[in-house]
Amino acid sequence: MTHPKKILIVAAVLTSISAFTQAEEKKTEFSLKEAQDYAVENSYFTRSAMMDVTMAEQKVKEITRVGLPQVTGKAGYNHFIDIPTQLAPANSFDPSAPADEFVEFQFGTKSNMNAGVYVNQMLFDGAYIVGLKASKTYRELAYANEAKTKVEIKRDVVKAYGLAIVSALNLTYVKENEAKLKSLVEENQAMYDAGFMEEKDLDQVKLLLLQTQSVLIETENSYKVSLDMLKFTMGKPIAEEIVLTEDIEKIKDPFVAKEENLNARLSLSTHVDYRRATANLESKSLSLSNEKMTYYPKLYGFLNLEGNSYGNEFNHFSSDGKWFPTTIVGVQLNVPIFTSGQRHMKVQQAKVGVEQAELQLKQMEESLYLDVANKRNAYEAAMNKLDNNKQNLDLSSRIKDQTRVKYKEGMSSSVELTQTENQFLQSQINYVLSMYDVITSKADLDYALGKL
């Protein structure tokens, strides 16, 4: 008899495995929003932008630490194989010596060692103050670039996801057509075998089926390619399988809300491109301030703790070794006096840079309004085209159904049937393409409005 505890353990393990398997399977399923969220964290472009933000954060910390005490340790050792020989007039030691006579002597020891700690502290440097502000602006620009990349990847995922689901819709249409044509071929084959149909009429329908099957092969391949493109956009490995949990019917409502989308307005302050242009202007203004700071003096403090040891043998760390300390504390003031007008020229260049950034900001503002107008027009045209193609699809569907009925009753030819089937298939393709145009134009409009 199996022990109850063993049963519980096995049940717990099986439950854990089942939960883990379900979690793994769930990872392969994506709604449109889930695909966007995944791409924001995992796409190649957003991950690179995140790295830029990390580097910007480190840059701010680096510049901040310039104003902290800088401590350097140094040590050096010299061994003189030959101690330098000096010459001095002999009469300096013996007044009776001739004036042109010199005495040779050597100063110093063969073994010399030096070690010290040197501390430097910035007390005032205007460029450092401006540099701190500039580094934070640089960080904000990195964040703005990251935001722009995330917005772009969201837009691109909408387009890629849209392409995949319209490809799936088109695949469904073609499969339905194939199934109906197969049924029609079987019916015609039976009629031909019974002697109620000519062979050319049967061949005409078979030819139509073969053409549809060729379209099916191309459509299946297009669907696979669209899924691979979506995975690449998301940063998902191409070899992994994904399942899209939404289709056109589930996501189309916000895309076809024509009046709402056309009446949406641009908010400049939240648009990533405007934020980047604003950060660029701030950066140029700080560059101008930095150049002006070169006119101001710089003040530094320092503390040097140094020791020297001498001897004819390397005994500096033994009991016989002796160290002679030197301690210096002081300040250093650097005052700019004259640089042949170089500072003035740099300031003038920085002023032009500010004016250029102001012009670019104004240009960005106008270009954003222009882009919104263009994207709004493109969306409206796509919606009108979708409405038109939907009517064409409904009309061609009715014509196709009527022609099939007439064909079965012998009131319509196989040529007419082929024409109406091809017409219906083309109407389906046009409708699917126009639906994709609506999705892409809506994604572009949302990007232009700063809604993403």
The pTM of this model reads 0.74
Per residue in 372-386, pLDDT tens? 999 999 999 999 999
> SS in 3 state form for the chain?
CCCHHHHHHHHHHHHHHHHHHHHHHHHCEECHHHHHHHHHHHCHHHHHHHHHHHHHHHHHHHHHHHHCCEEEEEEEEEECCCCCEEEEEHHHCCCCCCCCCEEEEECCCCEEEEEEEEEEEEEECHHHHHHHHHHHHHHHHHHHHHHHHHHHHHHHHHHHHHHHHHHHHHHHHHHHHHHHHHHHHHHHHHHHHCCCCCHHHHHHHHHHHHHHHHHHHHHHHHHHHHHHHHHHHHCCCCCCCCEECCCHHHHHHHHCCHHHHHHCCCCHHHCHHHHHHHHHHHHHHHHHHHHHHHHCCEEEEEEEEEEEEEECCCCCCCCCCCEEEEEEEEEEEECCCCCCCHHHHHHHHHHHHHHHHHHHHHHHHHHHHHHHHHHHHHHHHHHHHHHHHHHHHHHHHHHHHHHHHHHHCCCCCHHHHHHHHHHHHHHHHHHHHHHHHHHHHHHHHHHHHCCC
Contact, 324 vs 307, CB < 8 A?
yes
What domains lie within the chain, and their CATH numbers? 29-68+125-296+336-449 (1.20.1600.10)
Structure tokens, 267: 């908010």
Output phi, psi for 109, to 5 deg. Answer: -125, 165
User: CB-based contacts of 7: which residues, under 8 Å, 6+ apart?
Assistant: none
Q: Could you tell me the end-to-end alpha-carbon distance of the chain, in angstroms, rounded to an integer?
A: 63
Residue 209 Cα distances to 193, 403, 413, 426, angstroms: 19, 16, 16, 15
User: Residue-wise pLDDT tens for the chain (452 aa)?
Assistant: 444 444 444 444 444 444 444 444 445 899 999 999 999 999 888 888 888 888 888 888 877 888 888 899 999 998 888 888 888 888 877 788 888 888 888 787 888 899 999 999 888 887 777 877 777 888 888 888 888 889 999 999 999 999 999 999 999 988 988 888 888 888 888 888 888 778 888 888 888 889 889 989 999 999 999 999 999 999 999 989 999 998 888 888 888 888 898 888 988 888 888 988 988 888 888 888 888 887 888 888 989 999 888 888 888 887 777 888 999 999 988 888 877 778 888 888 888 988 999 999 999 999 999 999 999 999 999 999 999 999 999 999 899 888 888 877 778 787 788 888 888 888 988 998 999 999 999 999 999 998 87
- The neighbour count for residue 390, using CB atoms within 10 Å, is 15
